[in-house]
Amino acid sequence: MKLEAAQRLSGRSGSVSAVLLTAKDINMVTDLSEQLSREFPEFDVITQNDLLKNAEKMMEMPNRFMGMISLTVLMVAVLVVMNVMMIAVTERTKEIGILRAIGAKKRTVLEMIVLEASILSLIGGVLGALMVVPAAYIMDWTRVLSVQETAKVSLLVVAVAVLASIYPAYRATRIDPIEALRNE
Amino acid sequence: MSDKMLVQLESVWKTYQMDGVRVEAVRGVTMAIASREFVSIMGASGSGKSSLLHLIGCLDSPTRGSVAYEGVQVSEMAESQLTDIRCRKVGFIFQAFNLLPTLDVKNNVMLPMRLAGLSKAGSQERAEQLLDRVGLKQRSNHLPKQLSGGERQRVAIARGLANKPPLLLADEPTGNLDSSSGS
């Protein structure tokens, strides 16, 4: 298309919005852009590198978005596991009290709660993986949801559950056996 | 009182706050229990017998006074030492049995031995012997909820004897037993 036709089409007859310059040597690009910026401060001088960086930033956006969603899901998982284990500890106050009364160490109680959370999350992780892998094949998402990625996420779920169960487990160790047995 | 006593209590008081009301469960008890001695504590319901047993069994700490186990002041012991005493040196038969509802009879009896570090096979063998002694060997795979009050109490007795403790504290241990089981 001729310049005049493009100007007419965009309603900007007689004006130019961008000029594309091609350097003879790629090594001259930086010097040339600096020189142009100095001589024509009223213009924006953008090199191909700048365009590439912008494109990379644009491509990073969905990744960051997905990362934020993953982080949110992870935080929700932590809160859910913590809540479930807190309820489990509260419901089993008497049981923990009996254990402490007949000689269970605080460490034993702590390990018991963390182990329970680990086993439950491992079962959840394995069940989740068993559902995700076939679904990924059916939906043709194997590039994103590969077996390795699913295994990694399952292990992450266990790690998150272990971390999230530490506080409820600590609370379980603070149960006074006498109080627990009195509140029958 | 002699240092060779198993447990010594000196002017022991235990006060609770229950719903804002101050309850003096134990008032200035001084007593000593020697090894192989049989001691009965008698009193009306609510007179503080269970509270006293909890203090003797290192399950609770006194508000005032001192409790010594084998000559060592309980107040000077670390939490882990008290837990160890409860595990290896005190057998507790609770008034309300306090069996773990999710474990079967045998595992309830095995529990103190497993907590004391005894092997699974060893604790299983002793649990079977104890259940045989209390006449419940046939019910070792039953859950506590499948047992009668008297049977639960016998399981609690077997559990209390599990680690061959030098001190066995029984809070109304025959209250739910009939005349033949109680003897």
In tens, the pLDDT along A34-65 reads 999 999 888 889 998 888 998 888 888 887 88
Rounded to whole angstroms, the Cα distance separating B4 from A182 reads 32
Interface residue of A92, A99, A102 to substitute, partner B, most B CBs within 10 Å: A102
| A34 and A114 inside one domain | no
For residue B30, the SS3 value is: strand
Residues A155 and A68 in one domain: yes
Domain ranges of chain B: 7-77, 105-182
Q: A142: pLDDT confidence band, cut at 50, 70 and 90?
A: confident
- Residue A58 in any domain: the answer is no
Spatial separation of the C-alpha atoms in residues A98 and B103, rounded to whole Å: 13
Q: Is residue A44 part of a domain?
A: no
Statement to judge: residues A95 and A142 lie in one domain: yes
Q: Does residue B33 belong to the interface with chain A, where contact is any CB pair within 8 Å?
A: no
A46 belongs to a structural domain: no
pLDDT tens sequence across A100-128: 999 999 999 999 999 999 999 889 888 98
A31 and A90 both lie in a single domain: no
Query: What's the complex ipTM?
Result: 0.88
On whether both A32 and A109 belong to a single domain, the answer is no
Which residue in B94, B98, B143 has the most chain A C-beta atoms within 10 A of its own C-beta, making it the best mutation to test that interface? B98
**Total structural domains within chain A:** 2
Per DSSP, B87 falls in state I
Q: What global pTM score does this model have?
A: 0.76
Pairing status of strand B64-69 against strand B90-93: unpaired
Domain that holds residue A20: 3-39
pLDDT band per the 50, 70, 90 thresholds, residue A183 = low
pLDDT of residue A113: 94
The answer to whether residues A34 and A69 belong to one domain is no
Are A33 and A71 in the same domain? Answer: no
Closest-CA distance, A172 to chain B, in angstroms, reads: 15
Residues A108 and A73 in one domain: yes
Residues A33 and A68 in one domain: no
Chain A contact residues (CB < 8 Å to B): 94-95, 98-106, 108, 177-178, 181, 184
Sheet holding B72-73, edge to edge: B21-33, B7-18, B64-69, B72-73
Place of tokens 């969603």: A69
